[in-house]
Structure 1
Amino acid sequence: MLEFFRRHRGAFLITVTVIIIISFSVWGGWKSGRDSIMAQPTDPAFEVYGRTYTVAEAQRLSRRLNVTYMLQLFDLLSALSRSGGQADAAINQVILQTELERLGVMPDDAEAQAAMEKLPAFMENGVFSQQRAYNAQQMLGSYGLSAQDMLDIMKLSIGHAKLKDLAGKNYVAGPLEVEKSYASEHQTLKVATISFSLEDQKKAAVVTDEEIQKYYDENKETYKTPEKRAVSYVFFENPKEDDKKPLEERQKAQREVVDRVNKFNEASIAPGASFDAIVKDLKEAELKAPLFERESPPDAIKDEADLIAAIFAHNNQTRPVSDPVKGAKGYYIFTVTQTEEPRQQELGEVKDKIKETLTAQKAQEGLTKAVNDARDALAAGLKEGKKIEDLAKELKLTLTPVTDLTIFAPPAEMPHAYEIARAARDTPAGGLTQSIDTDTGALLAHVQAKELRKREDSAALRENMAATRASMEQNRLFEAWFSKLREAAKPRTLLKEAEEQA
């Protein structure tokens, strides 16, 4: 039907490999129950408009979603992904396609192909490349995707633009609205600041032994040593990625790993199953991790967050051997061999930690008071007609020199420039901003003047501002309308419900 997508084979291979991994992790992961190891292609994945979609269909929709990213159709990708994760985005594809067909605005193949030929992904020297397109088609076909999937995504992109235009076509940003937005973003703010140091407050904070004892007595239950666990585990490492190997050889290697995991898992659910015996019978390599805290796991597994969570959630009495746990580079099955329960810590063990906590609390309270007192005094003086420079000197505060800045382009060399500009924008000229948090404490800004200066590109900026406002309103209207469609479609993620019930 189509002869599409050729050239740059390696780049497409990397992208599609990511697509396969993501769709597997969403719809094809290990079940939490003991009766079934993996979600099967025919298992129900989700339901929408009363129709049930299988895991295989859901995986295909997920891969198509990632094709959307590869084609750089970011407006569509944002609309599909806004409700949540990739599962919701797959459901949103079905809803969007259904609504386009219901309204009779679904583009045909010819319109989609014409639009696709203009995508940067298929351009070479500014011209559509048939060779590059054909090559991409062949690569995607190896992974269960086709040129028709590309066309269908392109149809959704065109249709989404049409529906968004329909939803907000009557909205035009008014001149006053545009002018306010332009002034808000591009006016020059002349600002001077006064900084307040949290470290100075810490140095001034005094914490007594009585306060430490009282805090310990009130929070005693929180001061316990961390639980420690030791495990024995088997690591089923995924095959090393090698693009030079034939696809069938790579798939065979991955199936062999899955088969080993299945065999170990099936043996572990037999009555009286022993982890050590299974390791010996299946000739797997047993690895050990001595007692460790959750926050400081051994180097071999320190990057496996899901595994660490599973180890400290595991109950050996009800399940001596764990379910398979998917890691970054393979799968793990483990048994907890030793547990060291948390122990109550005495005051002497945590006195320094409590002192640090109370010092930090007092410093923050002192900082807040210092900023509020200074702002009140400065505001009162300004109201009396005094100059900010004289007031700062009188209150022994350090006033920085006046700086020009804008919301649109705050100076990169100025710390917290955007936060200062945003606060100054909302403060009248001659006034003081509210307290602005910084990484060293807080600051106040005095807005000395606001100027809307002439610019050669002001007409173009206003035009862009009007287009941006219109686009934002169109997106808002489309999202509100699409949310109603989702409610009417009554989507349910069945695979997730099945796992929660297992």
Structure 2
Amino acid sequence: MLDFLRQRAGSWLVKIILGAIIIVFIFWGVGTFRTGQKNILAEVNGQPITFTEFQTLYNQRLNQLRSLFGPNLNDELLRRLELPAQVFEDLVRRKLMLQVAEEMNIIVTTKELQLAISQIPSFQTNGRFDPKKYQLILRELRLSPQEFEELIKAEFIEAKIKNLLLTPIMATTEEAREWYSFENEKLKILWAKLPVSICEKEVKLNDQEIQKYYKANKEKYKTKLKIALTYYFLPYESLKKEIKITDEELKSYYEAHKKEYTVPEKRKLKHIFITKKKEESEEDFLKRAQEIREKIKSPKDFSKVAAKYSDDPHTKDKGGELGWVTPDEIFPNLREIIFTAKEGEIIGPLRTPMGYHIFLVEKIKPAQTKPFEEVKKEIRKKLLEERLKSFAWDKAEKLYDEIVLVGGLEPWAKKENKKLVTTPLFSPDSPPADKHITPEVISAALKLQEGELGSIMEVPGGILIFKLAKKEPPRIPSLEEVKDRVIKDLRHQKALELCAEKARRILEEARKEDYRKVFKKYGLTFKESDFFARKDIEVSGLPQEVLREAKALANPGEWLDTPVLTDEAIYLVKLLETKPADMKKFEEEQKLLKDLLTRKKREEAFNDWYKNLREKAEIKLYHELPKI
């Protein structure tokens, strides 16, 4: 199961952990909480999907998309992604999996969840599970531990169902051999290229055609919303000299925050980790752990016993060496025992959900408070940073008031001899290369009217006071404005149609006659490739879409049934020769291929199984999904 979670490191669930912004987005009424029947959005085989479940998952997915796309995530993109429908289907899948799990008596134990969560890298510090980090990340995600565990549990359940259903499905050696033979078969092709530019010379256009094409494709020429900002930037750095911090203030802070400068007690540990065998009873497990403990006659024996008996692959070869640890890095149920032991004491065996542990406390470094002189600079820097932002905001608010009183940024800048910056017009999804124009600033600017002053905003390195200098709404330009583009596009479209028809005629003739004479007749040259394998992803001079079609050819002398159309040219393709795959390396790659084919077969089988499950399910939707 843990391998499954690691393989799914790029899935939406793990990405949620890495998200930075949580967006509260409530459908069907802001701030309302439904109970009972009113909270039911749909039913899957009689089991409800609630509005709350939908909202929670939708918020998580929306947050993930905002982290991924930033300001480029607009309403149009959200509509194309059909996020509400995706979220609903995921909830349906989750319900169906829970129902199947119940029928198959599949459960996820607390121990499995604990072990899985403890091994997620985002919750670890120096390779160990960090409970404080776990709580902090969940707090930032606005998830309770129970909600997060439910997400993990859903993944676990699907993984266990897959494991039960798909384990019998295996690729055979013969299938791997056939696949290897096919993928490594060598092909040699020829291709002739009919450039669209040649056909463009033959295209004649009249005003009626141009107008008709423009009317049918107006939306294609619609301009994007464009804005320009004028701003004054107040850098933090310029204000540092105005902030005075006395030695008395530094000492006062030190005395009030001594805990911050106290280095916690550290202990250097070695450990032996013992896991339970499959058929082993709890009583036998404890007995085996005690027998291993008895083999340690003194601290000097610990490393040898750890190397021989420990089940921890990371420390086994180092004699069980864990290094220096603080109380926060130890599981709560072990913390008091380990941090009250004496130096040189051997502790254990101690039981945890993962197994038995035996510890050696090698050395102890007592907690100590750093002297004032050692941390004086650090405190000064901290107080300066804290006061700097507050000071800068106070100053910015005074400037803002002055700007409003004198009638705007420009009159104020002229009066105070300050420098303003005005950006060129830009589309919000293509901002200028200006570190002060952040996604947050753009988002705030989009809510303003042209000429309106925005709110004071913090940006990298300081405070920004800005106004929306200009706003050009999206519009459909007149034919006169875009006539050159329209003519170019229409000419290209007609040229493609003309070339495609011409290429079909050439192909018919090439099949009946000597293709060399036919190509010469139409002024086409052709090229022959070197031998390449079907698995190759690149052939020099050949576009990917043409190569993809060419790989479908099987018999030497065979032409592709239809010419391959690209944006720039039409291609005619013929298979000249094939060479059988060299099977010498098959034995080396056999295991890898069988694993690959097994995964492919299992994936296809599971998709078919789920499709059948979904089609048979009775799904009642009581409310329309929200439109973006």
TM range (shorter): 0.5 to 0.7
**Which residue does 1:373 correspond to in 2?**
505
Q: Residues 482 and 205 (structure 1 numbering): CA distance in 2 closer, same or farther, change over 3 Å?
A: same
Among 301, 323, 333, the residue aligned to 2:447: 333
Q: How far off its partner does 1:411 sit?
A: 2.8
Cα distance in 1 for partners of 2:571, 2:149 equals 54
In terms of mean alpha carbon deviation, does 361-370 or 47-56 score higher? 47-56
Alignment of 1:340-355 (within 5 A): 352=484, 355=487
Does the 8 Å CA contact 1:107/1:158 hold for their aligned counterparts?
yes
**1:390, CA displacement in angstroms?**
6.2
Does residue 445 (structure 1) correspond to residue 559 (structure 2)? The answer is no
Listed one character per residue, the Cα deviations across residues 73-97 of structure 1 (whole Å, up to 9, x for unaligned) are xxxxxxxx99976633663575256
**1:141-196 superposed Cα distances (whole Å, 9 cap, x missing partner):** 43233544454333222211222344545555577765554444332221122111
Q: Which amino acid aligns with 1:402?
A: S
Q: Give how far 1:444 is off.
A: 1.7
2:137 to 135, 140, 155: 140
Task: Summarize the Cα distance change of 1:331–1:171 in structure 2 as closer, same or farther, 3 Å threshold.
Answer: farther
What per-residue deviation string (whole Å, max 9, x for no partner) do you get for residues 291-342 of structure 1?
xxxxxxx95662169xxxxxxxxxxxxxxxxxxxx98644743568999997
- Please tell me the residue identity of whatever aligns with 1:429: P
1:186 is aligned to: 184
Aligned length: 384
Structure 2 letter corresponding to 1:437: L
Relative to structure 1, the CA distance from residue 354 to residue 42 in structure 2 (aligned partners, 3 Å threshold; closer, same or farther) is closer
Give the conservation status (yes or no) of the 8 Å contact 2:123–2:134.
no
- Residue type of the partner of 2:595? N
* Shift in CA distance, 398/421, structure 1 to aligned 2, threshold 3 Å: same
In the alignment, structure 1 residue 47 sits paired with structure 2 residue 41: yes
1:63–1:93 Cα change, 3 Å: farther
Letter in 1 for 2:590: A
Which consecutive unaligned segments of at least 5 residues does structure 2 have? Answer: 1-13, 69-80, 237-380, 391-403, 411-422, 431-439, 452-470
Partner of 2:114: 113
Counterparts of residues 406-417 of structure 1 (less than 5 Å): 406-411=533-538, 413-417=540-544
- TM-score by length of structure 1 reads 0.57
The equivalent of 1:197 in structure 2 is 195
**Aligned equivalent of 1:359, options 481, 485, 491:** 491
Q: 1:467 aligns with which of 598, 606, 610?
A: 598
Q: Secondary structure at the match of 1:403?
A: coil
Q: Is the deviation greater in 185-194 or in 108-117? A: 108-117
Report the Cα distance in structure 1 between the residues aligned to 2:533 and 2:573, rounded to whole angstroms.
Answer: 14
Deviation at 1:431, TM superposition (A): 1.0
TM-score (norm 2): 0.47
Q: Aligned equivalents of 1:228 and 1:58: distance in 2?
A: 33
AA paired with 2:427?
Answer: K
Question: Which residue does 2:427 correspond to in 1?
Answer: 302
Amino acid at match of 1:197: P
Q: Which amino acid aligns with 2:91?
A: I
Matching residue's letter, 1:110: K
Partner of 2:551, secondary structure, is helix
CA–CA distance in 2 between the matches of 1:440 and 1:391?
22
1:212 maps to what in 2? 206
Query: Post-superposition shift, 1:137?
Result: 0.6
Which amino acid is 1:405 matched to?
F
CA deviation after TM superposition for structure 1 residue 197, in Å: 0.8
CA contact (8 A) 2:227 2:425 kept: no
Supply the distance in 2 between the matched residues of 1:304 and 1:123 (Cα, whole angstroms): 36
Say if 2:93 is the partner of 1:102.
Answer: no
Aligned to 2:158: 160
Percentage of identical aligned residues: 15
Considering only aligned residues, what root-mean-square deviation do their CA atoms show, in Å?
5.5
Structure 1, residues 276-301: CA drift from partner, whole Å, max 9, x if none? xxxx99x9999xxxxxxxxxxx9566
Query: Residues 327 and 410 (structure 1 numbering): CA distance in 2 closer, same or farther, change over 3 Å?
Result: same
Query: Which stretch shifts more, 330-339 or 146-155?
Result: 330-339
- 2: CA distance between counterparts of 1:109 and 1:218? 67
**1:205 offset after TM fit, Å?**
1.5
Partner of 2:88: 88
Q: Does the CA contact (< 8 Å) of 2:187 and 2:575 recur in 1?
A: yes
Question: 2: CA distance between counterparts of 1:136 and 1:89?
Answer: 32
Q: Distance in 2 between matches of 1:397 and 1:229?
A: 45
Answer with 1 or 2: which has the greater Rg: 2
Q: Secondary structure at the match of 1:400?
A: strand
**Matched-pair contact (CA < 8 Å) for 1:192–1:403:** no
Q: 1:482 to 1:40 in 2, by over 3 A?
A: farther
Report the secondary structure of 2:571's partner residue: strand
Match of 2:527 in 1: 400
Contact kept in structure 2, 1:436 and 1:444, CA below 8 Å: yes
Alpha carbons of structure 1 residues 420 and 161: separation in structure 2 relative to 1, 3 Å: same
Q: Structure 1 CA distance, aligned partners of 2:408 and 2:86? A: 35
* Structure 1 runs not aligned, ≥5 long: 1-13, 71-80, 254-279, 287-297, 306-325
Structure 1 residue 114, shift from structure 2 partner: 3.2
SS of residue paired to 2:31: coil
Structure 2 match to 1:28: 25
> Shift in Å at residue 107 of structure 1?
0.9
Aligned to 1:476: 607
Tell whether the 8 Å contact from 1:233 to 1:335 is kept in structure 2 after alignment. no
Closer, same or farther in 2 for the Cα pair 1:212/1:389, shift >3 Å? closer
Secondary structure, counterpart of 2:428 in structure 1 = coil
461-470 or 215-224: bigger deviation: 215-224
